[in-house]
Structure 1
Amino acid sequence: MKAVARKQRKWIPSELDGSQWSEIEEVINELKKENIQSSEALQIWLQKLGELTDAIQEAGAIRFVKTRANTADKEAEQEYMRFVQEVQPPLKEEYFQLTKLYLDHAKKFPLPGPYHLFHRSMENSYRLFHKENIPLDLKELQLGQEYFKIRGQMTINWRGETKTLEELEFFLEDPSREVREDAWNAIQERRLKNREEIDRIFLELMKIRLQKAKNLGFSDYLEYRFLAMERFDYTPHDCRRLHQGMEKTVVPLVSKIFEKKQRDLGLTRLRPWDTLAPKGDEIPKAFSSGKELLEKGIEIFQSLDSQLAQLALDMEEYELLDLENRPHKAPGGFQMGLPEIGYPFIFMNAVGTISDLRTFFHEFGHAFHFLLARNQPLPFFRHSPMEFSEVASMTMELFTLPKWHLYFSKEQQKEVESSYFWHQIPQMLWYSTIDLFQLEIYSQELPSSQKIRKIWQQTFSKLTPGVDWTGLEEFQENYWQKQLHLFQHPFYYIEYLLARVGSLYIWLAFLEDERTAFQKYKEALSLGGTKPLPKLFEAAGAKLVFDEADLKPLIGRLEKVLQEKGLL
């Protein structure tokens, strides 16, 4: 990451270091002393607070990225943990005081309409603060780091070579069933080696999370977490209705997909290592380097929107892309906004698979969202609810999909599209499974590891059709441990499902009128967090869906399009 010039600060000292508590505290003390006598003065006060928030957020983000880039870098880990331990705890306490101060001022000097969502968020933050939760937050974060460290160190000596799990996952798309089976089993066996250690981490996390909820007077973690995630537009009951709808509409479609997959592969039964298998005789390697991934991606972006292409070029110039997999690199992929320099950072673990293309374009959807909303005046106004943020990323996958042949050939495009949809539609059931699993385990008081595995197997079996797991029960009951969100971002998963449904609405409109659909998408992204969640979906041409009655016609249209494309 290059040292990129940040935008000029208007309110806080230009030399302020957002990682040093003593400097942050000085600004906070000045904010506390201000004599607010009008709504205009209160808006300026919020701009000052927003500028300080940007400085702190960027300092933390840069340190976080360094720990993910190399999990063996002790210096980076120590510096990040210093920031977490020295800055975040007192900051939470001071922000609580500033929130209270804001609410007092807002009673006397109400802010205009656009601030009502911000005001609701501040009231919620004030309600959910508890001093005793500050050390619990820190412990929760440390346990999440511990999980990532274990995951980052998982390597396998496979056929004479040391490989990361991400590198080995490439072979799950190999034409040879023997290779796929060997790779899949090797991955599961490696994960099993750390099962007890990860069980311990998860049980400790559950205990901490429940205590945080009880400190605030909640009977369980579920109710607390929904408020903490500012889910003002839907409830746990709505989520359960959605999962029931998925069982009625998407499970039958996935059954058809896997039946066709089984026929195409000439198999008598479909096993877990067969779900990503290609139809052809060659493994479909999409690219051989991060450079190739980016160059062809920029060409695709240019065909869609010049502003999007320029974003990718700028990020390349400023070294804001970490694309390739390597040992000691943390698993997963993410986009992280850097508000002071005004650009995002993208992290992923590319090895050349079709799945890597999905991750690449997904994260660039997030990056494009950041770019379009970055000029909103307050940090709150820039950030959409996560459900809509994922619409931005998942829709970008679908917009770019017709051009993925640049990584292969036009002749292979049908195979590429079938690979995408045959993975992403079953993935909707994985989103549903993870969320329903969390709804179940957090609805009771501290289940044992054995109980957690039982709940997992029941949930997984209900929402995983068409795949034969006979003889693999030990691997199946441990399968949930691969999902990093459970450890670091509890309950952050229904967002993917709601967003995937939303992205399908936009994509189906895109098939009818590309220009209009893309323009509505851009305009909706530029709104940031200035509209309620249902209105953001509506602005993009989508719908926030929980009912089977809404899902059924949408999934029916999707199935028809797949049939027309010869993919089903």
Structure 2
Amino acid sequence: MKFSEYPYERPDYGQYEKDFNSGLKELTTATSNEGAIQAVHHLNDLRKRVDTMLNLALIRHSVDTKDAFYTAEDDYWNEYGPYFESLDAKFYQALLASKYRTALEEVFPETLFLIAEGRVALFKESAIPLMQKENQLTSEYANLVASAQIDYEGKTYTLSQLRPFTQSQDRTVRKAAADKVTAFFVENEAEFDRIYDEMVKTRTTLAHELGFKDYVEYAYVNMNRWGYDRKMVETYRQNILTDVVPVVEKSYGRQQERLGLTELKAYDLPLIYPNGNATPKGTPVELVAAAQKMYHELSPETGEFFDYMVEHDLLDLLSKSGKQSGGYCTFLSDYKSPFIFANFNGTSGDVDVLTHEAGHAFQCYQSQWIEEPELIFPNNEAAEIHSMSMEFITWPYMEHFFKDETMKYKFAHLFGALSFLPYGVLVDHFQQAIYENPQWTPKERKDCWRKLEKQYNPFKDYGDSPDLDRGIYWFRQGHIFEAPFYYIDYTLAQVCAFQFWKKFIVDQDPKAWEDYLRICKVGGSQTFLEILTTGNLVSPFEDGALQDTIQAIDKFLGEITEEQLR
């Protein structure tokens, strides 16, 4: 079937609850190892069905927020999602308490039991109203951002559609487009402040209700951060300040010279080259065809995967009115189908989507043997290794997309990944500060953002934008609102992806593909640190791991001459 033919049916919660409780009874009253194992298989089948319907509704609503039917379904899942989660909590409790647990642990992945332990700690029936409130606030934020209709030069644009103008070679256009984006957030500032203030209070109350000191402590359990803690993350952030920020500052100094500017303003940062950034050559249809050719050339596994995505219409790539912003990959368990959502806008980001989100999709396509819906993807910090590494693994094929601008793309891509690291840990540091101080006013939150921004992103000069200078840039960072604390994961993964970059591009290690394929196949059946071992990668928390990768990148970028970038 094509994706459009995948049937959606809202689950009847009452009937599902009866079926689920019947399955739970099979597990709790089992009289043999085999009986307990079969009961877990049955419960997994039920959970996969609900997970499939949830994701179908999520996809179709995000593709068109104006569709009344799926808007209603989004409201349904916001309300009933916590009830389904409450049944999962009962499953986790029964799983952990089973007298056949030893036999179950021999059949089902260890991480299922680790998740179960965390989820039991994270759930109480009394917390359901708070979870519902959080879901509703998240939808309010997403819909507010999606509502942007920005008039510019006689036409109307979404935030995503306006992005190419922020990379214009004409400085006045760059500034005007950047000002238009900022103006949208200023015009809606009170609403963004209200939504986030309610989010912080709701999440803090939720954490206290479940017995946690603060929401930070709750979030570490919620994010399944096994094997590392808040203190280790703080040390890692300091390493970014020490080892990465100076290299990024130096590279931006080179960019300022290249652009011929006396001052590099924040709105100049997206333009890396005076004659324009590298852009993909071809229509969206041609880009997808080029991606299909690339994945066939890369490996039999990736060729088969991408054919499946194209044949089943599992890519929604074009930006349009009413479509939510951003990009994501999700998985439809009953159909063993990944799905890629994106907003093409004519920039190099279109190609990044075809590599980054395809990295996620390829991983879960390889992990479809896993029956637990929560284990198809690994934890976030590990999941991003697959996507970010795929961006580099496909470097040898970038001429398919960029033709004579390939070197420009590679330089900008590698530097962009490097310069992201300080921003990524800034977002994490900001959130930790916010949830350690939930009583802060909106102004205090903005002051905190700007103070941290000056540490991690000292090269951001907002001299022409007093609104950004008072700290509202973070309004546009959806993760802060929609997926709290899911951000430093990108940076941890990026450090690991840089190791794959070195293996594939610098060292041309013949075993590199085997390492990558292995970590794709294990999905979420291993922890972050175990996945690193499987892929022969060095942990970002080990001494020297950061310095080695950053020095290699600094050397590579430094050896590319300005003549090569013209």
The two structures have a TM-score, normalised by structure 2, of 0.94
Give the distance between the partners of 1:300 and 1:418, measured in 2 at CA: 20
Alpha-carbon deviation of 1:534?
0.8
Give the distance between the partners of 1:70 and 1:249, measured in 2 at CA: 43
1:519 aligned to 2:511?
A: no
Report if aligned partners of 1:242, 1:548 keep a CA contact under 8 Å in 2.
no
Query: Counterpart in 1 of 2:138?
Result: 144
Query: Counterpart in 2 of 1:322?
Result: 316
Matches within 5 A, 1:42-441: 42-86=36-80, 88-106=81-99, 110-113=103-106, 115-282=109-276, 284-287=278-281, 289-409=283-403, 411-441=404-434
The SS at the match of 1:347 is strand
Q: 5+ residue gaps in structure 1?
A: 7-14
Report if aligned partners of 1:534, 1:543 keep a CA contact under 8 Å in 2.
no
The SS at the match of 1:323 is strand
Give the distance between the partners of 1:217 and 1:109, measured in 2 at CA: 29
Alpha-carbon deviation of 1:419?
1.8
Query: Counterpart in 2 of 1:24?
Result: 16
Give the distance between the partners of 2:339 and 2:186, measured in 1 at CA: 33
Report if aligned partners of 2:265, 2:462 keep a CA contact under 8 Å in 1.
yes
> 1:169-224: CA deviations, max 9, x gaps?
11222211121111111111122111110110000000110011110122211111
Report if aligned partners of 2:149, 2:156 keep a CA contact under 8 Å in 1.
yes
Alpha-carbon deviation of 1:282?
4.9
Alpha-carbon deviation of 1:108?
6.4
Count of aligned residue pairs for this structure pair: 558
Moved more, 70-79 or 281-290: 281-290
The SS at the match of 1:225 is helix
Structure 1 letter corresponding to 2:22 = E
Alpha-carbon deviation of 1:507?
1.2
Query: Counterpart in 1 of 2:2?
Result: 2
Give the distance between the partners of 1:127 and 1:107, measured in 2 at CA: 22
Alpha-carbon deviation of 1:547?
5.5
Moved more, 459-468 or 446-455: 459-468
Structure 1 letter corresponding to 2:446 = R
Report if aligned partners of 2:149, 2:158 keep a CA contact under 8 Å in 1.
yes
Moved more, 88-97 or 56-65: 88-97
- Match of residue 485, structure 1, among 479, 487, 492: 479
Alpha-carbon deviation of 1:5?
8.6
> 1:419-477: CA deviations, max 9, x gaps?
21232211111111100101111112321101100110111110013332224231241
Report if aligned partners of 1:271, 1:468 keep a CA contact under 8 Å in 2.
yes
Moved more, 418-427 or 150-159: 418-427
1:36 aligned to 2:24?
A: no
Query: Counterpart in 2 of 1:546?
Result: 541
- Match of residue 528, structure 1, among 496, 516, 523: 523
Structure 2 letter corresponding to 1:550 = A
> 1:265-291: CA deviations, max 9, x gaps?
111111112112142535643145321
Alpha-carbon deviation of 1:81?
1.6
Give the distance between the partners of 2:428 and 2:239, measured in 1 at CA: 14
Alpha-carbon deviation of 1:522?
0.4
The SS at the match of 1:513 is coil
Alpha-carbon deviation of 1:109?
5.2
Query: Counterpart in 2 of 1:462?
Result: 455
Per the alignment, do residues 520 and 263 of structure 1 end up closer, same or farther by CA in structure 2, a change over 3 Å counting? Answer: same
The SS at the match of 2:544 is helix
Report if aligned partners of 2:226, 2:527 keep a CA contact under 8 Å in 1.
no
- Match of residue 453, structure 1, among 446, 455, 458: 446
Report if aligned partners of 2:36, 2:100 keep a CA contact under 8 Å in 1.
no
Report if aligned partners of 2:331, 2:337 keep a CA contact under 8 Å in 1.
yes
Identity across aligned pairs (percent)? 26
The two structures have a TM-score, normalised by structure 1, of 0.93
Give the distance between the partners of 1:350 and 1:115, measured in 2 at CA: 37
Structure 1 letter corresponding to 2:411 = S
Report if aligned partners of 2:539, 2:545 keep a CA contact under 8 Å in 1.
no
Structure 2 letter corresponding to 1:422 = F
Q: 5+ residue gaps in structure 2?
A: none
Query: Counterpart in 2 of 1:502?
Result: 496
Give the distance between the partners of 1:281 and 1:117, measured in 2 at CA: 50
Give the distance between the partners of 1:360 and 1:485, measured in 2 at CA: 21
Give the distance between the partners of 2:228 and 2:535, measured in 1 at CA: 19
CA RMSD in angstroms comes to: 2.1
Per the alignment, do residues 202 and 279 of structure 1 end up closer, same or farther by CA in structure 2, a change over 3 Å counting? Answer: same
The SS at the match of 2:150 is strand
Per the alignment, do residues 43 and 132 of structure 1 end up closer, same or farther by CA in structure 2, a change over 3 Å counting? Answer: same
Per the alignment, do residues 552 and 385 of structure 1 end up closer, same or farther by CA in structure 2, a change over 3 Å counting? Answer: same
Report if aligned partners of 1:245, 1:548 keep a CA contact under 8 Å in 2.
no
The SS at the match of 2:334 is coil
Alpha-carbon deviation of 1:103?
2.1
Give the distance between the partners of 1:4 and 1:154, measured in 2 at CA: 27
Alpha-carbon deviation of 1:234?
1.1
Report if aligned partners of 1:298, 1:313 keep a CA contact under 8 Å in 2.
yes
Give the distance between the partners of 1:103 and 1:538, measured in 2 at CA: 27
Give the distance between the partners of 2:77 and 2:263, measured in 1 at CA: 52
Structure 2 letter corresponding to 1:2 = K
Report if aligned partners of 1:38, 1:109 keep a CA contact under 8 Å in 2.
no
Alpha-carbon deviation of 1:80?
2.3
Report if aligned partners of 2:538, 2:545 keep a CA contact under 8 Å in 1.
no
Structure 2 letter corresponding to 1:99 = Y
Give the distance between the partners of 1:546 and 1:480, measured in 2 at CA: 27
